Amino acid sequence: MPCASATAASRCRRRRLSGRSRGQAALFLLMALVILLAVFLRNVDIHSAAIAKTKAQNAGDASALAAARWQANTLNLVGELNVAHVAALSGGDASAVHAITSMQARVLFAGPLTALVAAQAAAAKNGIRPNPEFSSLLRDHAANVLEYGTQVAGGPAMREPYPGAWREYHDSLLSIAANGVAAAPDNAVFFGNASGGHILLDKAFYEAVEGREWCWFFLNCPSGGNRTILDDFTDYTWFPPLPDPPQPNPQNSEIFGVGAEARDTELSAIGGLADVLPEIANMPSNALHAKENWYFYSPGKWQTHWPRMSEGDPDFLPLVGSVREEYDYAGADAVTRLYAPAKTLSGNAGDNGGQRDILWTAAARPFGYLRRGSDKIRPNSLGIILPAFRDIRLIPMDAASSGSDATFDIAWQHHIREHLAPYLASGTLVEGCRHCRDIRRFEDPKFRRVGRDWLSVNSYKCTLPSFGSGRGGGTRRGH
């Protein structure tokens, strides 16, 4: 508008001024809105992450408990069948004895597979959808199982626990994979897979490189005297070759296996049996001394003390209170892994474009005891399996059997199965693999020098048990 007079000009300036300040106010308001929106979206993200975490936790815990419940059922059933075997033997019924022992061999596979199905049901009930990568890994593994029966020189590659077992097991895995795997069995022991026995098969090594936990190198890989791998490493040729896979025990399921073994022995050789199984007092002496196939706890899995829960164990996990004597054993446990998707609105997406997955791992195990008079004794006190398991509880992840292996950590499995052998042969590493990236970082002399320098001053700090175990303390693990 033209300003004709002085007063008009001044009014006009005022108007222009107030127009400018209105513009500034609008800009300010806009900025405030943008900030508020960002805060709002972030809060929504935090809120949705919190919901996803609770969901993951509930589903993870429920699936581990469901799996452990079926491990208990499996053990109790094998134990009941041992007791039924005693009765059949007393009555001289050889065909019943045969039926019982072959049923035990089947139960050791069927029970844990039911545990896998039950874990899926528990996860689904808590709103977790199947993970395509888990399902595909299980399907791939089913294909490997068929090869267990392939003939090599001198017979099949792996003896079947019962006739037709490998085909049956393969079909069950395929049908579970077809229904979708949401809660993956993270402490499976796949026959023929190497686990441990080499620094590059130890997940703690990679965690130590990533987190620059120099104490881990000081405590875990002394090359002799005070020298560590940080001092001695040269290049990929420095590492020893990968170890041969351990001799499998094909009597137990690879997934949620309960650790049983058949042994040819006579009942009279099992000390203290009459104290907990009064039936054997009435057995004819020839039955008591007959060599028969009984199912025992495998000593490799069922040690007398619960590692990391027993004071005096080098890796003792400091907890309030101690484990009751009757529960102080290592044995069957179930570890599950699952992811709950948390949608992000602010664009701070995780690895998954707008979606950040919350990982939850949980562990549970069956608890039980035998009664000897008024005493409670460990279920494995006599060696032979008897029905003993009454309860299922969650246990700390660090006291579970999975150690640093994680059967369904897909990236880890790719790394140890596909990347390590070429690396050890020629030093080749795979782009896009975070474990390969850790090795690359470790190969850098500057990286190792930082560690050596730190340790030369601070190694006295590396004596606490919580240092260097390389396990636990992470934010990615449950319990």
Nearest residue (CB) to Zn ion, 343 versus 440: 440
How near is the Cβ of 451 to Zn ion at its closest, in Å? 21
> Please, where are the H alpha helices in 374-471?
410-414, 420-426, 434-443, 445-458
Tell whether residue 436 is a contact of Zn ion (CB under 5 A): yes
Q: Which residues pair with 293 in a beta bridge?
A: 264
Nearest residue (CB) to Zn ion, 291 versus 417: 417
Tell whether residue 203 is a contact of Zn ion (CB under 5 A): no
How near is the Cβ of 27 to Zn ion at its closest, in Å? 50
For the chain, the helix, strand and coil percentages under 3-state DSSP, each to the nearest 5: 50, 15, 35
3-state secondary structure of 2: coil
How near is the Cβ of 116 to Zn ion at its closest, in Å? 27
How near is the Cβ of 433 to Zn ion at its closest, in Å? 3
Tell whether residue 362 is a contact of Zn ion (CB under 5 A): no
- Under 8 Å between Cβ of 396 and 364: no
Here the tokens at position 390 are 């009454």
| Residue 198: other Cβ atoms inside 10 A | 17
Q: Which of 69, 308, 435, 448 touches Zn ion by CB under 5 A?
A: 435
Q: How far apart are CA 88 and CA 280, in angstroms?
A: 12
- Burial class for 262, CB neighbours closer than 10 Å (0-12, 13-18, 19+): middle
Q: Which residues pair with 375 in a beta bridge?
A: 372
Nearest residue (CB) to Zn ion, 3 versus 430: 430
Q: Which stretch binds Zn ion (CB under 5 A): 150-158, 165-173, 258-266, 436-444?
A: 436-444
Q: Which of 55, 170, 419, 477 touches Zn ion by CB under 5 A?
A: 419
How near is the Cβ of 410 to Zn ion at its closest, in Å? 12
CA–chain centroid gap for 24, Å, is: 58
Nearest residue (CB) to Zn ion, 69 versus 435: 435
388: closest CA among 136, 4, 83, 63?
A: 83
Q: Which helix (H) or strand (E) holds 228?
A: strand 227-228
How far apart are the two ends of the chain, measured CA to CA in Å?
Answer: 73
Nearest residue (CB) to Zn ion, 433 versus 450: 433
- Under 8 Å between Cβ of 338 and 56: yes
Contact track, Zn ion, 364-403, x by CB under 5 A: ----------------------------------------
How near is the Cβ of 411 to Zn ion at its closest, in Å? 8
Tell whether residue 415 is a contact of Zn ion (CB under 5 A): yes
Residue nearest Zn ion (C-beta atom): 433
How near is the Cβ of 423 to Zn ion at its closest, in Å? 8
- Burial class for 379, CB neighbours closer than 10 Å (0-12, 13-18, 19+): buried
Nearest residue (CB) to Zn ion, 326 versus 405: 405
- Mode of pairing for the β-strands spanning 151-152 and 155-156: antiparallel
Tell whether residue 83 is a contact of Zn ion (CB under 5 A): no
Nearest residue (CB) to Zn ion, 85 versus 203: 203
Q: What contacts 29, CB < 8 A, 6 or more positions away?
A: none
Q: Which of 174, 359, 433, 450 touches Zn ion by CB under 5 A?
A: 433
Nearest residue (CB) to Zn ion, 308 versus 419: 419
Nearest residue (CB) to Zn ion, 273 versus 436: 436
282-301 residues in contact with Zn ion (CB under 5 A) are none
How near is the Cβ of 432 to Zn ion at its closest, in Å? 9
Q: How far apart are CA 339 and CA 407, in angstroms?
A: 15
Residues at the contact surface with Zn ion, assessed by CB under 5 A: 415, 419, 430, 433, 435-436
